[in-house]
Amino acid sequence: MSDYTTTTDSGATCFRCCFSFILTLGLTSLFMWLSLRTSNPILSIQDIYIPALNKTLNSTSYKSVYIDLKLDNVNKDKGIYYDPLNITLLYYNQSNSSGIDKIVSPISNYTLRGFYQGHNKHTRRKNWTETYGLPVDGGVVFKLDLETKIRFKILFWKTKRHRLVVGADFEVSNLGQKVQKKGTRLKSGVPEYFSGKFQLRMLLVSFSSFALVLV
């Protein structure tokens, strides 16, 4: 005890005290950032069936399409509130004689109701949806786009809404079924690490509080 009251040691004590304070704050902000960090859900197309493209049925009168999606909340301890999910089905119109082969034509849209998904939960959404202007030939590349807004539930509070825009291409065989047997993951054009504004802000808050103590 007496060591701490002598004048010769006070400088070192102050330094030690300051140092552990900075260290504690640094670790706290790092821990805060790690525990508030969120991951977007993993969305994928599990199955697609387009009867109009099933050559063995030999009928193009079918107008509907079957879509089976999987939504996977990969967060270990954060729930997700989904706003209504807007889904658009398109195909690459390659029959354009002008040589432009990247024209996408929408053929269907539908909306899934918003819902809450607990941490580590996954769920399927299987729907038949009406289409317009389906291509008549198989071997076509399709595209599914999904747009929604999500909020994360962290302990007792909800984050602000942020946009989730993802999509994927897939091929359909001439039996009308998605060629890839495995799930096709819907991806965002922006790398996930940079897409979460919330995440970036938390990182900034952590770092600036750390830096503040250093100066």
Residue 14, interface with ligand NAG (CB under 6 A)? no
Three-state secondary structure of 42-106: EEEEEEEEEEEEECCCCCCCCCEEEEEEEEECCCCCEEEEECCEEEEEEEEECCCCCCCCCEEEE
Residue 159, interface with ligand NAG (CB under 6 A)? no
Residue 96, interface with ligand NAG (CB under 6 A)? yes
Q: Which is nearer to ligand NAG, 35 or 96 (CB)?
A: 96
The interface with ligand NAG within residues 32-71 (CB under 6 A) comprises 49, 54, 56-57
Cα-based distances in Å from 10 to 5, 24, 34 = 7, 21, 36
The interface with ligand NAG within residues 166-195 (CB under 6 A) comprises 175-177
Within its chain, how far is the Cα of 197 from the centroid?
Answer: 13
The only residue of 44, 108, 148, 184 in contact with ligand NAG, by rule CB under 6 A: 148
Residue 100, interface with ligand NAG (CB under 6 A)? yes
Q: Which two tokens stand for residue 202?
A: 């938390």
Size of the site for ligand NAG (CB under 6 A): 16
Task: Kindly list the residues in this chain that would bind ligand NAG in the complex (CB under 6 A).
Answer: 49, 54, 56-57, 84, 86, 93, 96, 98, 100, 147-149, 175-177
